Amino acid sequence: MRIAVFDSKQYDRTALNAANLQHQHELVFFDDRLNIKTVPLAEGFDVVCPFVNDKLDAPTIAKLAKLGVQLIALRCAGFNGVDLNAAAQHGIPVTRVPAYSPEAVGEYVFALLLTLIRKTHRAFNRVRDGNFSLDGLEGFNLHGRTFGVVGAGKIGLATARIARGFGLKVLAYDPYPPAVCEVGCEFVSLDELLAQSDIVSLHSPLFPTTHHMINETSLAKMKKGVVIINTSRGGLINTVDLIKSLKSGHVGGVGLDVYEHEEGVFFEDLSDSMLDDDVLALLTTFPNVLITSHQGFLTSEALDNIAASVLHSVAEFAQQQPLSNEVKAGA
């Protein structure tokens, strides 16, 4: 099948080409994100393979259908950028990569967290300048503190498992909790988790019900000095409300690998241009805020798993088999 891979970087191309050796599909890579302006690039393709910030709204999907596209094979877990109702109306199935490497993201949570609370990024810069002073670098122990996991899917549970290894007490919230937590956590209500946790790690999908779940009201329920880590979806946090809590000192630290308005910024080299987003620019000025560019997934193992999963979905579709990773309207 002919597959148009949108918003592709060199690491995508390397992983997909390697995985394709056993499938022999025709892969064509585009730097452009898939949206209503770039959808003509999909002409002549059976499958489109978008990434997390591509916008497949109803007009875009209608155009894909007219161009003869038969399958949307996402190479990410999130599918909030796809109008699933429109896809169903046009008879185009949508697949995703539900669990490429939960450990990759779980481990990255602690890369952000430890860097933030032990200030190793600031220490690194000091030493490079010949400053070996320890003033201002005091952190705190993780051992014995309470770690809250919001969203207990595969990534959330992988993160909880790592947290237990640090000697943290782990609380978890999920709208559909299992009867028993397999990693030794305690399921509580969201309000209980926010009130008791020293660290809150977000792992929820982005739905209308979870959009801005971290806002002025929920932030006020958290402990003073709480550390918030978000490696899931930027839209889970109302950034303006977060900045207010940072300014007041109520929030003690924030690690963000995602941002609600990251499209057009993250994954791009903007070092020679001005940052148009004033909110993001302000966030970067806080010494207790650590921002990375949506790289939690970026390990060789995860890239290999993503590529294999995408091409497995395409193979299932080509062979008219049930699509094991399909997502539908109402999911």
Which residue is catalytic, options 233, 260, 312, 316? Answer: 233
Q: Is 75 a catalytic residue?
A: no
| 8 A C-beta contact, residue 68 and residue 76 | no
Q: Kind of pairing, strands 71-73 and 47-49?
A: parallel
CA 299 vs CA 12, 15, 162, 234, 325: distances in Å: 11, 11, 17, 20, 21
Q: How many CB atoms lie within 10 A of CB 285?
A: 7
Q: Which of 203, 212, 294, 312 is catalytic?
A: 294
**Cα dist from 165 to 17, 162, 182, 236, whole Å:** 37, 5, 14, 27
Considering the candidates 33, 96, 262, 316, report the single residue annotated as catalytic: 262
Q: By the 8 A CB rule, do 43 and 17 touch? A: no
> Cα 168 from chain centroid?
23
Vertex 10 angle, CA 6 and 15, to 5°: 85
107 an active-site residue?
no
| Catalytic site includes residue 294 | yes
Give, in order, the Cα–Cα distances in Å from 112 to each of 227, 255, 290. 11, 6, 7
Residues annotated as catalytic are 233, 262, 294
